[in-house]
Amino acid sequence: MTDEHRPDTDPGSDPKWYYNTTTGQVEHGTLSRSVDRLGPYPDEATAHRALEIAMERTAAADRADRDWNDD
Confidence of residue 7 (pLDDT cuts 50, 70, 90): very low
pLDDT tens-digit readout, 24-69: 999 999 999 999 999 999 999 999 999 999 999 999 999 999 999 9
Contacts 24+ apart (CB under 8 A), 44-53: 44/17, 46/17, 47/17, 47/18, 47/19, 48/19, 50/18, 50/19, 50/26, 51/19
pTM: predicted TM-score of the whole model, two decimal places: 0.72
Does the pLDDT of residue 12 top 70, yes or no?
Answer: no
Domain ranges of the chain: 3-70
